[in-house]
Amino acid sequence: MKYLHTMVRARDLDETLDFYCNKLGLVEVKRYESEAGRFTLVFLAAPGDGVGGEAGLGRLSPCVEITWNWDPEDYTGGRNFGHLAYEVENIYETCQRLMDGGVTINRPPSDGHMAFVRSPDGISIELLQSGDSLPPQEPWASMENIGSW
Residue 60: per-residue pLDDT: 59
The one catalytic residue in 28, 33, 65, 126 is 126
pLDDT reading at 1 higher than 70: no
pLDDT reading at 145 higher than 80: yes
Residue 83: per-residue pLDDT: 83
Interval 12-69: pLDDT, tens: 999 999 999 999 999 998 899 999 999 999 999 988 776 654 544 445 568 898 999 9
- Facing residues of 21 across strands? none
Q: Catalytic site residue 138? A: no
Interval 68-87: pLDDT, tens: 999 988 777 665 566 888 99
List phi, psi (to 5°) of 43.
Answer: -100, 125
Which tops the pLDDT comparison, 1 or 138? 138
Contacts of 12 (CB under 8 A, 6+ apart): 120
Q: Which amino acid is at 89?
A: E
